[in-house]
Amino acid sequence: MNSPQRDITLRFLAEPQDVNFGGKVHGGAVMKWIDLAAYACAAGWSGRYCVTAYAGGIRFVAPIHVGSLVEVEAKVIYTGKSSMHIALEVNACDPKSLNRRLTTHCIVIMVAVDQNGQSEQVPQWVPETDADKVQHASAIKLMDMRKQIGEEMQIFVE
């Protein structure tokens, strides 16, 4: 069996149908691209069908223009029993210049599931490099923060 694929980059051109009323690519299109890359990354790591369990911390840093070459980079930074925490970074550039700039970044949690929608175990990822260890520790810290936010958000749920 091949070793799991930890990261993936999707590349495409931003099209006119992706534009908002302000003339830039709208956030919904960017979020769709992020979800697609997170799925491809999680499926490549787990070898299973995966569903989105959480998307958070989405930061829109800079706009994306129509005609831009967009790259969505996704990388596993933490694994639980059936979940995979995926760090995503969206970069864009004019395809003629290839001068990439960060436009968006976030974390998405994907869960591997079977044909009945029940969670399935995924291969564990163990950080090896110093950069991996920093990202892994950050993922754990973010889990704790999400738990606190979830508890605070309960007042909005009926």
- pLDDT tens profile 44-66: 999 999 999 999 889 999 999 99
The answer to whether residue 12 is domain-embedded is yes
pLDDT tens, position by position, 3-32: 789 999 999 999 999 998 888 999 999 999
Instruction: Read off the pTM.
Output: 0.91
How do residues 97-118 score in pLDDT, each as one tens digit?
889 999 999 999 999 999 999 9
Residue 2 resides in a domain: no
- For the chain, helix, strand, coil in percent to 5 are 30, 35, 30
In a domain, 145, yes or no: yes
Within-domain flag for 1: no
Q: Do the beta carbons of residue 91 and residue 101 sit within 8 Å?
A: yes
Report the CATH number at residue 77: 3.10.129.10
Residues listed for the chain: 158
Looking at the domain assignment, is residue 87 inside a domain? Answer: yes
Take residue 121 and report the two structure tokens written for it. 């175990």
* Residue 50 counted as domain residue: yes
129: containing domain? 7-156
Query: Number of structural domains, the chain?
Result: 1
Complete edge-to-edge strand list for the sheet that includes strand 49-60? 7-13, 69-79, 83-93, 101-113, 49-60
